[in-house]
Amino acid sequence: MHFLDLFGGILLFIFLLGYSYWKGQVLNSDELHELYEGLKLNNVNKYDYVLTGYTRDKSFLVMVVDIIQELKEQNPNLVYVCDPVMGDKWNGEGSMYVPADLLPVYKDKVVPVADIITPNQFEAELLTGKKISSQEEALEVEGLPPSLICFLCTERPDGTKTTERIKMEIRKVDAVFVGTGDLFAAMLLAWTHKHPNNFKVACEKTVSAMHHVLQRTIKSANAQSGKEKKPSPAQLELKMVQSKMDIENPEIIVKATVL
């Protein structure tokens, strides 16, 4: 499913999969360009934030970068949040589930314009060309924006910059969810906007909200599937509507440590 959603100064490119089959049209780069030209003609291409996620087409991703660069020329304060969805690890082995030709586009074009990037461990390894198996190796990651999940670069009033490194320990949930990366990136965007000078709090609220959503989802899924049966993808659809209060005002369950 591919769609373009526009509202309130935020541009979202959201692409959710996770089922065995899907129908509908997939936007190509020409169609995306045509849509964006329509926004320009109506003078409604003014944004404060851009959030992008899953895509499978190289030319489409290149067009996204071109649009972001143009938007940043109009608004130098625009914040671009990228979830570089490329693959994941299963049983310790990493595998890409998008075409390999997207990787150099992410490395050479997307990363340089991104303000916040939210790769999982495998995606961070792809982007940096380095294995990450310890906290020390994670802290040595180079070549990504300074705001990579637990890294945030902020400007002080005197013009100097400070980098904050955050560590969070999160309990693993034994289930396969769809859309968690999208939800995480969206909430991180929202909470860094709400707390621009306190990345620790932004991370705590983001991850704690994720905890509440996942716990509510797995509880509902297990109730539907019954004992000794694994929940189906449909039963594991994130309970975001039911978690509205937790998303808006999460009880802090997961604390962050500043390294």
Catalytic positions are 182
81 touches 118 (CB < 8 A): yes
Reference 170, options 89, 257, 258, 51; nearest CA is 257
146 touches 111 (CB < 8 A): no
Reference 16, options 56, 67, 53, 69; nearest CA is 53
Q: Starting at the earlier edge strand, list the strands of the sheet with 79-82.
A: 2-7, 10-15, 49-52, 79-82, 116-117
What's CA 103's distance to the chain center, in Å? Answer: 16
Write the CB contacts of 232 (distance below 8 Å, at least 6 apart in sequence). 225
**Secondary structure of residue 161 in the 3-state scheme:** strand
